[in-house]
Amino acid sequence: MRPSRFAMLAVLCFYSLPASAQLAEHDQMLTARSRGIAGTGRSFATAGAATLLNPAALATSRMYVLGASYGFTRVKAADGKELDAHVIGVEWTDSTPNPLHLSMGVLYDYLLGDGLEGHNAHLALAYSFEAPEFGVHFGAGGHYGQAWPAGESADKDLWSADFGLAFNFRSQLMLGVVGYNLLSTLSDTTPRGVGGGLSWWTGPLVLAFDTSAMFDTLSREGKKKDALVSYMGGVQYMLVPEVVVRAGGRYEQGQEAPLFLAGGLSVLAGSVVSVDVGYEHNISDPKSFRVGVTLDIFNPFGVR
């Protein structure tokens, strides 16, 4: 299948890190690019984003990537107080062609926020079977988090593992399914869940729809509640070969502030450097928002 410069630019912008001090619900662990399309990408996420959304999608493009990112988050805590968090991250991915048909991605971030600091480390592996008209990809991702809350609380170590499947047909239709935290510490910040996504690529336009459901979730009072179900849709469009814009929305069923709108921009410089910005705003709670920016240096080998 022929490489596409637009596809290359579109997928090379998935590389900022989670805005969470500990391992958290995957819908909250958005990258700069996925934030710009409201969390979609389980069918076509690559590199750093694939380690979070669907490790099987890691192999849907072929590239070598080094990236650095910064993210800022403002959210409202259970007591109504506004909390700010800063995330600095680095990422390395190698999904270039090889005899073993394996791809690998590593993601690390450091978070510093109001009364909390911590580390997150993520590793994803994918195996691919590819034919001229389609590709099937299997993946597994592992996550480890360590955080130090303010006060007398003890250090807390969290780990989890995800498993996913991705399918692409003629570089146009892409499908993805994933199980989250199927192996984990099963704390309230590593709930088990499932997700899926569908995307359609045609010329300069990409349309995407995702959904996910997280179980084992808790209310603010610490009581078990119904599964958190999210619905996400996004669109991205190439204005010129070096610039892609995107927009999206997300609805979280059962949440007190369920509606989010998002937008983003990607710029490709010299075919080896990508800069991405993504912004997401909770319109049900206007004081809550997230923004991320990423700088990537990459060596593309073609996109499926």
pLDDT at 190: 76
Residues 280-294 pLDDT 10s:
998 988 788 899 999
SS (H, E, C) the chain: CCCCHHHHHHHCCCCCCCCCCCCCCHHHCCCHHHHHCCCCCCCCCCHHHHHHHCHHHHHHEEEEEEEEEEEEEEEECCCCCEEEEEEEEEEEEECCCCCCCEEEEEEEEEEEECCEEEEEEEEEEEEEEECCCEEEEEEEEEEEEEEEECCCCCCEEEEEEEEEEEEEECCCEEEEEEEEEEEECCCCCCCCEEEEEEEEEECCEEEEEEEEEECCCECCCCCECCCEEEEEEEEEEEEECCEEEEEEEEEEECCCCCEEEEEEEEEEECCCEEEEEEEEEECCCCCCEEEEEEEEEEEEEEEC
pLDDT at 26: 45
Reported as a pLDDT band with limits 50, 70 and 90, residue 100 is very high
- Say whether pLDDT at 79 is over 80: no
- Say whether pLDDT at 24 is over 60: no
Q: Rounded to two decimals, what is the model's pTM? A: 0.83
Average pLDDT over residues 242-246: 94
- Say whether pLDDT at 105 is over 60: yes
- Say whether pLDDT at 71 is over 50: yes
Residues 161-199 pLDDT 10s:
999 999 999 879 999 999 998 988 766 667 889 999 999
Class of CATH domain 5-303: mainly beta
Reported as a pLDDT band with limits 50, 70 and 90, residue 99 is very high
Residues 29-66 pLDDT 10s:
467 888 889 889 999 887 788 888 999 999 888 888 89
